[in-house]
Structure 1
Amino acid sequence: MSVDVLNETDSAVDEVELVDLARYVMAEMRVHPQAELCLRLVDEATMTVLHEKWMDLPGPTDVMSFPMDELRPGRDGEAPEQGVLGDIVLCPTVAAKQAAEAGHATAEEMLLLTTHGILHLLGYDHAEPEEEKEMFELQRQLLLTFLAGRGRPRA
């Protein structure tokens, strides 16, 4: 799986861990092994422009997902689709504020937001209560299993 990280900020981010997480989530969701994903880290001004342009909402947000080939999770007995999964745009300063409010590290918030963004790229949403329950439970499981395996050597 090809995962590129474009850090356009001054924020110190563990790009290797973000890539490891992205690959883990994509593998668990049975995304084609040659699928492509781009993680773009931007400042609040850039995120504000994107948020207003694409969501018609004011101010910066934490994460936005821009699907490309509308890939979906693989299913048993079916070959996964090959293509470009899309782009996830993250705002580390917004993530840092949210992490402080939630009482955990910014790095953990960035991992959560990356997982969240990938699920959006795969067609998950949280507009309706049932969708939210399904997406957030899957997000929680993926993140917890990734974090539990953190101490293992990287492949």
Structure 2
Amino acid sequence: MDDEPSPPARTRHALDVLVSSEAGRLPLSRARVAAIGRRVLAGERCRSAVLTIAFVTDRTMARLNRRHLGHTGATDIITFAHAPAAPVLPLVGDVYIAPAVARRNAAAFGCTMREELVRLTVHGVLHALGFEHPEGAERQRSPMWRRQERWVRRLRAEGAW
């Protein structure tokens, strides 16, 4: 019998954000994207989460868009949130971002690709947390959009990107 005490039980909840990319080199490192995801989750008072953020090609995004949403073509972001069955279970979600679409959006919106990827990361995390916005002209006036833009400004001020 070993006289060493057992390690303490883990009481802190984990915010696990896993990032992958099939879309080549990005202006943000995967570590930075994961840190941004964790920062938003923690700031929104999420206690436990397993979130994947995948940067995908336009082709993969178009396939996901058609298969799961019935839309044609690539879009900038798709989020799938799997609500926990009980309050003690972690939030589980998958965020897919198409950097090529983000690059086109950045040019159209007059911001950098880096900023647009931060915005999409925040957007996906907020959707995973259950926030929604209307489509069309009301989208950018919605409470979720305002919350997203506050996060982008806060993360910039904190030097997160």
For Structure 1 versus Structure 2, the TM-score category normalised by the shorter chain is: 0.7 to 0.9
Partner of 1:48: 62
Check conservation: 1:2, 1:36, Cα contact below 8 A. Answer: yes
1:138 to 147, 152, 159: 147
Q: Percent identity?
A: 29
Q: Does 1:21 align with 2:30?
A: no
TM-score, structure 1 normalization: 0.83
- Looking at structure 2, the residues matched to 127 and 101 of structure 1 have their Cα atoms a distance apart, in angstroms, of 21
- Looking at structure 1, the residues matched to 60 and 16 of structure 2 have their Cα atoms a distance apart, in angstroms, of 25
What are the residue-to-residue correspondences of 1:51-90 with 2, within 5 Å? 51-70=65-84, 81-90=88-97
TM-score, structure 2 normalization: 0.80
Task: Output the amino acid matched with 1:2.
Answer: D
1:108 to 115, 118, 133: 115
Task: Output the amino acid matched with 1:145.
Answer: R
Partner of 2:46: 31
**Pair 1:90–1:130, CA change in 2 (3 A):** closer
Q: CA deviation at 1:50?
A: 0.4
Q: CA RMSD in A?
A: 2.1
Check conservation: 2:133, 2:142, Cα contact below 8 A. Answer: yes
The alignment of Structure 1 onto Structure 2 pairs a total of residues equal to 142
Q: Does 1:98 align with 2:113?
A: no
Check conservation: 1:125, 1:131, Cα contact below 8 A. Answer: no
Highest Rg: 1 or 2?
2
Unaligned runs of 5+ in 1: 72-79
**Pair 1:143–1:84, CA change in 2 (3 A):** same
Q: CA deviation at 1:66?
A: 0.7
- Looking at structure 2, the residues matched to 114 and 38 of structure 1 have their Cα atoms a distance apart, in angstroms, of 11
Unaligned runs of 5+ in 2: 1-14
Q: CA deviation at 1:105?
A: 1.1
Q: CA deviation at 1:127?
A: 2.0
